[in-house]
């Protein structure tokens, strides 16, 4: 079971746009308009959501999205813990559209997120070579070692 099983299929285009905004917001919170969300008993409630995300700083990939839902309009059957009826997919009306939108959202969520900080680091790495002097501790008795900045930058780039 996935979180997408709880969203109404007609909301997937709107959800795609919401996820795009969440990813581009770089961790800041955004609000979405109300969307339909399935309850345990199979009814739909309307929720408004505050969204934020966490981008892994090392892999530059989306780690997770946080959605804090607030119920705007409850379901018709207020006993949300009653057993659900036999599964009736509302995707049966337009399964191609539903699956297409679901694929778009999943593809979006799997893409690496490139930000300005990363592109700045890549520009720094491409600067011309300069010499930098590095001195070991005095008690080691080793002579001063010279390292080229370009080599140090290459090591720094590998860490990223």
Same domain, 76 and 126: no
> What is the total count of domains within the chain?
2
CA distance 129 to 158: 17
Please check the confidence at residue 142 and state whether its pLDDT lies above 70: no
Predicted local confidence at residue 127, as pLDDT: 44
Please check the confidence at residue 143 and state whether its pLDDT lies above 50: no
Per-residue pLDDT tens digits for 4-24:
888 998 888 899 999 889 888
The helix/strand/coil state of 8 is coil
Cβ atoms of 50 and 68 within 8 Å: the answer is yes
Same domain, 74 and 153: no
Per-residue pLDDT tens digits for 47-102:
999 999 988 888 888 889 999 999 999 999 888 888 887 765 555 556 787 788 88
Same domain, 128 and 150: yes
Same domain, 102 and 128: no
Choose among 19, 104, 30, 33: nearest CA to 62: 19
Same domain, 104 and 154: no
How many angstroms from the chain centroid is the CA of residue 92? 29
Domain that holds residue 134: 117-159
Please check the confidence at residue 43 and state whether its pLDDT lies above 80: yes
Same domain, 34 and 81: yes
Predicted local confidence at residue 86, as pLDDT: 76
């Amino acid at each position: 079971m996935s979180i997408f099983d709880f969203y109404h299929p007609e909301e997937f285009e709107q959800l795609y746009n919401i996820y795009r905004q969440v990813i581009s917001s770089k961790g800041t919170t955004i609000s979405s308009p109300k969307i339909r969300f399935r309850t345990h008993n199979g009814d739909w409630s309307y929720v408004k959501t505050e969204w934020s995300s966490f981008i892994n700083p090392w892999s530059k990939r989306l780690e997770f999205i946080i959605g804090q839902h607030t119920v705007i309009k409850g379901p018709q059957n207020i006993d949300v813990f009653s057993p659900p009826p036999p599964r009736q997919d509302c995707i049966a009306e337009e399964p191609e559209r539903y699956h297409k939108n679901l694929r778009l959202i999943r593809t979006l969520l799997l893409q690496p997120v490139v930000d300005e900080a990363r592109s700045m680091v890549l520009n720094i790495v491409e600067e011309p070579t300069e010499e930098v002097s590095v001195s070991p501790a005095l008690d080691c008795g080793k002579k001063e070692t010279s390292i080229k900045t370009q080599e140090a930058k290459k090591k720094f780039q590998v860490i990223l």
